[in-house]
Structure 1
Amino acid sequence: MIRFLFRFIGFWLVAGGFVALIVDGTRSIAASALVFTSTGDAWFALSPGTLEQAERSGRTGLPLIWNSAILPLLSLPAFLLLVVVGLILLALGRVRERSRFEVSR
């Protein structure tokens, strides 16, 4: 059941990453320059309140982790982060092949 959940969420994240890549590609063609939407900008566009709440709690609770780990992730292109996390979840949820030599009980 957990593997199915990992695969399901992974497929949706990879699909969302490709959608973000297409949006960035369209904007790049229109601007005649490379344009990437950062993860922080995408999060702010979708739900500004939750981003502000996460930033507030991150800066007061664990400022070292917020500054050294979360801020660099928020500056990555959105498509890259979505695809990488989706592929990791797909790898975690993959169905393992049974060996031809395994004896079934």
Structure 2
Amino acid sequence: MIRFVLRFLGLLALALGFIFLVYDGTKSIADQTVYISSVESTWSNIHQSSLTSLQPEVERRAGAWAWEGLVKPYFLDQPVSLVLAVIGAILILLGRKKKPLIGYARD
């Protein structure tokens, strides 16, 4: 059951990543400039207060270096389509079915 949920959430994240990729592509074609939406801008558009409350929480739990050195450059400044695709791929890999053992008995 947990594997099914992981695969479902992974597929959902991949689909959302593809949707954001198409959104960025159509916006780039319409504006005739390259447009890539970051996780920070998308999160800010969806729910601003949770994004602003994340920074003090990360700094309190892990230190100020974690926000400026890890979260901001490696998560919030990345394209949202890429982040969702990576999260989706990881969830699908975690939820994959076990390969059957050929020639060995399972005890």
* TM-score for both structures, normalised by structure 1: 0.91
The Cα RMSD (Å) is 1.4
- In 1, the alpha carbon distance for the partners of 2:7 and 2:69 equals 29
Per-residue CA distance 1:74-102 (angstroms, 9 max, x = gap): 00000000001110111111112202213
- In the TM superposition, what are the counterparts of 1:2-13 in structure 2 within 5 Å? 2-13=2-13
- Provide the rounded CA distance (Å) in 2 between the counterparts of 1:102 and 1:50: 51
Q: What is the aligned partner in structure 1 of residue 77 from structure 2?
A: 75
> Which residue of 2 is the match for residue 50 of structure 1?
50
Whichever residue aligns with residue 94 of structure 1, its letter is R
CA displacement, residues 5-24 of structure 1 (integer Å, 9 cap, x when unaligned): 21111111101100100100
**TM-score, normalization by structure 2:** 0.89
Residue 64 of structure 2: aligned partner: 63
Kindly, what percent of the aligned residue pairs are identical? 31
Structure 1 unaligned residues grouped into runs of 5+: none
> What's 1:97 paired with?
99
CA distance in 2, matches of 1:69, 1:100: 43
For residues 77 and 106 of structure 2, the distance between their equivalents in structure 1, rounded to whole angstroms, comes to 50
Q: Give 4+ residue runs of structure 1 displaced > 3 Å after superposition.
A: none
In 2, the alpha carbon distance for the partners of 1:104 and 1:45 equals 51
| Structure 2 equivalent of residue 22 of structure 1 | 22
What's the CA shift string for 1:13-55, capped at 9, x where partnerless?
Answer: 1011001001000111011121000000010011111001112
Structure-2 separation of matches of 1:68 and 1:3? 33
Q: CA deviation at 1:4?
A: 1.8
Q: Count residues with an aligned counterpart.
A: 105
